Amino acid sequence: MEAVAKRLRRHIVSMIGRAGSGHPGGSLSAVEIVSTLYFRVLRHNPSDPAWPERDRFILSKGHAAPLLYATLAECGYFPVEELSTLRQFGSRLQGHTDRTLTPGVEMSAGSLGQGLSFSLGVALAGRLNSRPYRVYVLMGDGECDEGQVWEAAMASAHFKADNLVAIVDRNELQIDGWTCDVMELEPFNEKWQAFGWHVIEVDGHDFAQLIDAFDHAGRVKGQPTVIIARTTKGKGVSFMENNPDFHGKAPSPEQVEIALKELE
Amino acid sequence: MSQVVSLRETYGRTLVELGRENPDIVVLDADLRRSTMTHYFVSEFPDRSFDCGIAEQNMVSIAAGLAASGKIPFASTFAVFIPGRCYDQIRMSIAQPGLNVKLVSTHGGITVGEDGTSHQSVEDLLMACSLPGFTVIVPADATETTQTLRVAAATPGPFYIRLNRPALPLVNDENYRFNLGKAVVLRHGTKATIIAIGVMVAAALEAADNLVREGIDCRVLNMSTLKPVDEPAIIQAAAETGAIVTAEEHLEHGGLGSIVARVLAGHHPVPAEFVAIKDTYARSGKSAELLERYGLSARDIEQAVRTAIKRKP
């Protein structure tokens, strides 16, 4: 798993460097979360992305598209070589996710706060269709500033969507700075609890803790589960870690070189 | 005038029929089930009904998730809240991916009446029509409402259907068949054409009847499919009658008038007049009082027809 994570980080840095724009910080922070899901948790079939029984992964923080693309490519949804087309005209890999273009992408995202609601709809459809799939949605912590997140949080508990698992990438940084300075989220776990969710807090870079948390979430009945994953924005690249400048800025060619060396 | 029937009541009853025919149809609400009349569906299919509370943005994105998983969601609230309150959610969750969600709003326009500005939707059609891939329909009566709902349920892709609060007179007979994207000629005429939608169709017919007494015979078109609009019918009307008047319960900007003007300018320019609300919000009052005050009466249409005819070269 560590090797997979390193490959994904190398893809993310290279893709965004080549594209000249993109969001490295929030892609790097969620590498362990997303790779745990795709390589350990999800029942999915890269050769049949529309398989009705598949578990769904929905990326609500659509700016982490490079991470999702790298993961999907490593799983075999499309060729790894295609990653180099990120953000280019004519590419299937748009700046933010587009479900009409990219195999394996479940939702068109980029406008924050909509993914949890969308995922609840997918979860409710699963229940109506008597399909046993589970729905995993990854949100940013800054994204939780959006009021719709809390509308969806309330509704998910109300509809007892126990086939729904939300993961919050709690890297504590958003574009304008630390989340506590921009818009205080704490007491964060308690908020989710008060909204009727089962809350699990983990180190979002620790595979064992993540695997345990997903396993645990699968046994929770009658309520949705949220995994608050404590992470470091820009994780794995020294000069990007905890640096809000790299929320939405591409590394220069020299920085790419340094980063790839660190990720060898 | 003929029998008056509620479009909302018709919506509620038709949803139940559709629900019986197709198990994939599900219904979402935002705490207005007794106003949108979806409560009939809720009673018969409680497991396929989701009241999202007073949270329209959430409702719309949930509907998108259901549609992405094979369901055919009908989501309803007042026209002032959908699309206005949840425009970005509709844009990204439904329009961009072209998902099979049916947004049916009730209480459209100013005829919602006494509740006043906050509940009167005068911008919903311009917002709905702006969304790529959306089909936008404004039924003129209960007969047409049933049929548009059936067509929407059977046609993949996003729909916006706007209904009124008050019951409306029947303008179509029982043999009427709605064709998506096709305008309906309700009166034949040669001097001018009145193109109307929704509540204004009955007013257009009244105006046409009055104008005949002055020797002005008007064609009346019901343009219930606002998008994609029936361009050939507009062009033909312009070519054959030489003057156009549009009539809509909506702001002048961006609604039926703008759409018709674009088609005329591109294909067959003729004098045109636009009966619509002029860059203002309305206030509390009875439906009839408001239609009168904001320039949406049969008399306003008649005057617009006279003006358009006078402007003919």
Q: Please tell me which of the candidates B48, B63, B64 has its beta carbon nearest to residue A128.
A: B48
Report, as an integer, the average pLDDT of B20-28. 98
Average pLDDT, rounded, for chain B: 97
Query: Are B58 and B34 within one domain?
Result: yes
Q: Are residues B41 and B144 in the same domain?
A: yes
pLDDT in tens, B151-182: 999 999 999 999 999 999 999 998 999 999 99
Instruction: Please write the tens of the pLDDT for every residue from B231-289.
Output: 999 999 999 999 999 999 999 999 999 999 999 999 999 999 999 999 999 999 999 99
- In the sheet that holds B272-277, the strands lie side by side as B184-187, B218-222, B192-196, B244-251, B272-277
Using 50, 70 and 90 to split pLDDT, how confident is the model at B1? low
Tell whether B125 and B263 lie within a shared domain.
no
- For residue B174, the model assigns a pLDDT of 85
Taking only the tens place, the pLDDT of each residue in A223-259 is: 999 999 999 999 999 999 999 899 999 999 999 999 9
Instruction: Classify residue A6 by burial, with Cβ atoms within 10 Å: 0-12, 13-18, 19+.
Output: middle
* Chain B: residue whose CA lies nearest to A55: B69
Quote the percentage of chain B above a pLDDT of 90: 99
**Integer Rg of chain B from CA:** 19
CB distance from B295 to chain A under 8 Å? no
Domain-wise residue ranges, chain A? 2-262
Q: Residue B137: which CATH number?
A: 3.40.50.970
- Chain A residues in contact with B25 (beta carbon < 8 A): none
Please indicate if any CB of chain B lies within 8 Å of the CB of A152: yes
For residues B161 and B114, membership in a common domain is answered with: yes
Number of folded domains that form chain B: 2
Residue B234 lies in a domain: yes
Inter-chain residue contact B64 with A119, CB threshold 8 Å: no
Angstrom CA distances, A204 to A138, A220, A230, stand at 12, 20, 5
Same domain, B154 and B24: yes
**Domain for residue B160, yes or no?**
yes
**B125 three-class SS:** helix
Q: Tell whether B175 is covered by a domain.
A: no
* Nearest alpha-carbon partner for A30 in A219, A199, A202, A179: A202
Do the domain assignments include residue B139? yes
Residues of B identified as active-site = 56
Overall residue count recorded for chain A in this entry:
264
pLDDT tens digits for range B129-158: 999 999 999 999 999 999 999 999 999 999
Q: Which CATH number fits domain A2-262: 3.30.70.260, 3.40.50.300, 3.40.50.970, 3.30.1360.10?
A: 3.40.50.970
Specify whether B146 is located in the same domain as B194: no
pLDDT of residue B2: 77
- Structural domain ending residue among the three candidates B137, B169, B201: B169
B195 in the same domain as B165:
no
> CATH number, domain at B283?
3.40.50.920
A117 to B47: CB separation less than 8 angstroms, yes or no? no
| B105: its two tokens | 């709003």
B99 inside domain: yes
Q: Identify whether residues B196 and B161 lie together within a single domain.
A: no
DSSP letters of B50-105? EE--S-HHHHHHHHHHHHHTT-EEEEEEETTTTTGGGHHHIIIIIITTT---EEEE
Span A168-227, pLDDT tens digits = 999 999 999 999 999 999 999 999 999 999 999 999 999 999 999 999 999 999 999 999
Q: What does the pLDDT read at residue B154?
A: 98
CB–CB of A155 and B58 under 8 A? yes
Same domain, B128 and B62: yes
Residue B43 domain boundaries: 4-169
Residues contacting B262, CB < 8 A, separation 6+? none
Is residue B179 assigned to a domain? no
B40 and B163 share one domain: yes
Do A24 and A82 contact (CB within 8 A), yes or no?
no
